[in-house]
Amino acid sequence: MFTPRTAPRSQPQPGHLYDVAVLGAGLAGSELAWRLAQGGQDVLLVSQALDHLGNLYQPTLAGAAFPEQSLFAQVQRAMAPDTDGWTFHCRLKAELEGTAGIHLLQSCVTGLDEDAGTVELSTWEGPKLRARRVVLAVGAFLKGRLLIGETMEEAGRLSEVAYDFLADDLAAQGVYLTYASGEAQPAPGAPDYEVRFQVLAASELSGFALRRFDQVWALGRCTPGEHTYASVLHDAARLAEVLLAAPQEPA
């Protein structure tokens, strides 16, 4: 069952303190934000483009295996037998928009500053954001470089700009980043491409937590290892359980 359409738990104003800020609204970030909101958290879900919410690395759902209890599986079942990727994105976005406790924000986070139990997020647009806890779910976008033939773009996916500022900020704070790469699955009407990007080194993580911060976690393709749709959604469920069970410091 989908989330009932109810009024948001909070009406954010400048200086608002969120329970959790999730950076990146792809597979990992969207699932995590939805699960945290289901658990009563006041969640900020940040995406550089709301038209890309929950986008997959393929144009259709053909062959996509989502865990049964995930948001993605619920949307997939609701639109069956249709498997169109754009229809899926539209339905997923509508569900996130209608979930009480999620504030969707189109912005680009450029840096993190942790102090006194809260994390301040700098944005490319200028306004500061604040959260008790932050989750990096930025996929292949830390210094992402998309290659099509001999052409290279600063992007983590077609038409989606890389997060160079955030990668530079993490590196400046001593976070060691290493490199990974992946290829988009061939699809009719879409160019084949490779993306090279930075990920957090395994030594920087203790489970999902970043060792150099007290209140920052990471999830999905920005972490080392092999990832599938199913594994990322399972990890999102696990991290949601961790965050919902953790004591929350007062501001």
What domains sit in the chain, N to C, each tagged with a CATH number? 17-139+202-245 (3.50.50.60)
pLDDT band for position 205 (cuts 50, 70, 90): very high
Can you read off the two tokens belonging to residue 217? Answer: 């976690």
pLDDT tens by residue, 103-153: 999 999 999 999 988 999 999 888 899 999 999 999 999 999 988 888 888
Give the highest mean pLDDT range of 1-15, 174-188, 225-239.
225-239
What is the chain's percent helix, strand, coil content, to nearest 5? 25, 30, 45
Cα 61 from Cα 27, distance rounded (Å): 13
Q: What is the reported pTM? A: 0.91
pLDDT tens by residue, 4-61: 445 455 556 677 999 999 999 999 999 999 999 999 999 999 998 888 888 777 777 8
pLDDT band for position 217 (cuts 50, 70, 90): very high
Q: Are 220 and 235 in contact (CB under 8 A)?
A: yes
- The residue ranges of DSSP E strands in the chain, in sequence order, are 17-23, 43-47, 102-106, 109-115, 118-123, 129-136, 145-148, 151-153, 155-157, 160-161, 177-183, 194-200, 205-206, 209-210, 216-218
Buried b (16+ CB within 10 A) or exposed e, 22-59: bbbbbbbbbbbbbbbbbbebbbbbbbbeeebbbbbbbb
